[in-house]
Structure 1
């Protein structure tokens, strides 16, 4: 006999589960905002990064997005197929490819940039400005605790 999980209280679990629940909740809201764009959350994130860091390499994107190399390759292939990015040989080392937004990719990145502001404003509806700043500082502190090892 399995326990009734329909009334499971996620907020009673370990901190890792709470952080994951928060991340999934935010991701779902961003995906809701992305409906109609044809972009996934990760594709949208990549376009934003490429907008600010044109010419970065796949390995640099891998670090920023915190995803594995095969996932970056698949992501880049998908964005290239949509004609949102172009890969060019690195001028100093042909073994590396630099990634740039196409004109269409730049347009999409700019048009969808406001999604992060929309979601952040939704968060601010439930947080005071001070709570929000403390929350961000605590998240940074949490990541830094484990990154410094």
Structure 2
């Protein structure tokens, strides 16, 4: 039988696993904001650049899904990135309703630097972890995420 770790009587706001994951993400975003500030970017702007550079997304809808934001938020972010000269939008040749997003030369230049800054930030937060603790953390978070996906099927 599956053990339930929380109940309405024992749940304490701010102390749950969900809250701790959220706080960890906030801390990580603050660190990354500092790291990418010299590039003129925020923690929300680096994601689309890296996804485009790695070929994992080419449209606003794909970028929205990958970044976990709605399309109107992504459109505003792309407006900012376009005004900075980092991306361009071109009407898709296969679907005229869709715009393909492409990195400019400057966008490519910045996108090449970002993974190194992200690695620095992650390593900063993982300082003091052993290799075994790091691998355990990764495995546990992967299981936590997989639990959500099992519930959907």
Please, what TM-score do these two structures have when normalized by structure 1?
Answer: 0.86
8 Å CA contact 2:28–2:125 kept in 1: the answer is no
Structure 1, residues 2-24: CA drift from partner, whole Å, max 9, x if none?
Answer: xxxxxxxx997111111111110
Correspondence 1:1-149 to 2 at 5 A: 13-53=15-55, 56-148=58-150, 149=152
Distance 2:56 2:22 in 1: 30
- Return structure 1 stretches of 4+ with deviation > 3 angstroms: none
Give the total of aligned pairs: 140
Structure 1, residues 19-60: CA drift from partner, whole Å, max 9, x if none?
Answer: 111110111111111222210111111111111017611111
8 Å CA contact 1:61–1:72 kept in 2: the answer is yes
Alpha-carbon offset, residue 133 of structure 1: 1.4
Gaps of 5+ in 1: 1-9
8 Å CA contact 2:51–2:57 kept in 1: the answer is no
Structure 1, residues 95-148: CA drift from partner, whole Å, max 9, x if none?
Answer: 111111000100011123211110122233221111111111211221221133
Distance 1:89 1:49 in 2: 19
Distance 1:109 1:37 in 2: 10
Distance 2:46 2:53 in 1: 11
Q: 1:12 to 1:59 in 2, by over 3 A?
A: closer
Please, what TM-score do these two structures have when normalized by structure 2?
Answer: 0.84
8 Å CA contact 2:87–2:101 kept in 1: the answer is yes
